Amino acid sequence: MGFIIYDYIVFALLIIFIFVFLYSNRKRLKKEGGAFLYKTKWGMKLIEKIGGKYKKTLYFLSYISITLGYFLMVACFYLVGKIVWLYAFHPQIVKIIKVPPIMPLIPYIDKLVPGLPPFYTTYFILILAVIAITHEFAHGIFMKRYDIKIKSTGFGFFPFFFPVLPLAFVEQDEESMVKQSKFKQMAVLSAGTFANLLTAIFFFIVILIFFSLVFTPTGVVFDDYSYSMLQITGISMVNGISLTNPNYEDISNSLDEEGINEVKVGDTTYFLTKEFLSKQANNIENIYLYDNAPALKSNLDETILEINGIKIDSVNKLGEELLKYAPGQEITITTLNGEEIKDYKIVLEDNPASPGRPWLGIGFVNNGNGGLINKIFSILSSFKKPHVYYEPALDGLCWFIYYLLWWLILICVSVALINMLPVGGLDGGRFLYLTILSLTGREKIAKRTYNYLTYFFLFLIVFLMFFWVWNFFR
């Protein structure tokens, strides 16, 4: 909570600074195309130096940039189609992801979407600056390479977000741009997204090095207990209440809302929670029940630090250490829950699947394949050992930097994808227009395709918003 207060202060100071700066330079602030533009010549010398000095390298990179532009455009079609499919046919996802599909990335969006890491206003400011500057400078460098006149650089502000959402720009001379070949224009258009991807790769390397230097594996995080699948009709008792030929609803009504419930199947005891049952709502004949395992009976916490004083820093280490003991032996497991360290005395039992081997009864199921958020975490955290708890050298600062880098990589890739959408107002729209014009040689077909796709994607936005409202509020 303390950092959030500092974050608010930084945001307030930024707004004050922008207001004062723009007011003192108000003569340079002009309204064009629905936005306020502050035009300068900042960065022109650097753009001219790079664009004029490394012409052969930039020519070679133009082919890579254009090729990546096509790949990103195809990826956009796939992702948009995937999102439409999810919102149309998977209403349960809409209820989990509460924000609308066209929700802009705003500070503290992690409070609205469960599973996301913190996204502070400070992150928003720093990331916006990095992405906007690299994106627009790349456009400018390729403009200089292909002798396209640059009129100005500067910052833009949309009226509805003024002055919260500043955007950088490099203003080209449109007449000079259209005189160039289609290849040169496409190289300039795709340069911004190319720079976004290079920025993402660079910071992925940075986060990998940073994480390896300041984070140390110190425990194992388990996220479930051992369970078995049985027939629903085989359940004879729940919390001491007898049931005859029960169904899903009968079992649900017999469970306490909180805590662990005892379930009998014949003479065997199992356990079940209301939350675990709710995840099985689609099951009709079978049900998963927690085994009567040592970990569950002891209410073992989620992060294991030590076993009998031996540090556990990986899942393999956990398995190796448990195999040193036999069923019936008591071990001391040290765990971490938040900031609380606690010891558990647990007697290992005989493993039902492998008699003679010790059994603790914990599970590892959250492997990153259970949804979009988990997949994002899995990709951006691929350098981390799965199910391992890492201790930072400096708790608050290290996590702050780590999540800043995490968000920077994610947003760089997202901006690259969105910018290559083949719609008007984005680089992808004009990129597609030039592609169609090159293939057909007919400007009328190119313009018609450009307009149709723009309207098509606008229709998809309306379509998504309709299904969001329909599924969220019904």
474: how many CB neighbours lie within 10 A of its CB? 8
Inter-residue contact 191 to 185 (CB < 8 Å): no
Inter-residue contact 36 to 166 (CB < 8 Å): no
Mean pLDDT of the chain: 85
Cα dihedral sign, 464-468-471-474: negative
Does the structure show a pLDDT above 70 at 171? yes
Q: Tens digits of per-residue pLDDT, 427-454?
A: 999 999 999 999 998 999 999 999 999 9
pLDDT attached to residue 97: 63
pLDDT attached to residue 8: 82
> Can you give the residue ranges of every domain in the chain?
28-215+396-473, 227-292
pLDDT attached to residue 130: 92
Give alpha helix (H) positions in 146-273.
Answer: 174-178, 182-214, 248-254
| Higher-pLDDT residue of 4, 314 | 314
Average pLDDT on 64-91 reads 86
Distance CA 88, CA 418 (A): 21
Average pLDDT on 66-72 reads 95
pLDDT attached to residue 252: 85
Task: Please give the C-alpha separations between residue 327 and each of 148, 356, 386, in angstroms, as whole numbers.
Answer: 77, 7, 27
pLDDT attached to residue 369: 44
Q: Tens digits of per-residue pLDDT, 295-317?
A: 988 888 879 999 999 999 999 99
Average pLDDT on 56-69 reads 96
Confidence bin at 289 (pLDDT 50/70/90): very high
Average pLDDT on 185-204 reads 95
Q: Determine the residue type at 156.
A: G
When mean pLDDT is compared across 64-73, 149-158, 259-268, 392-401, the lowest value belongs to 149-158
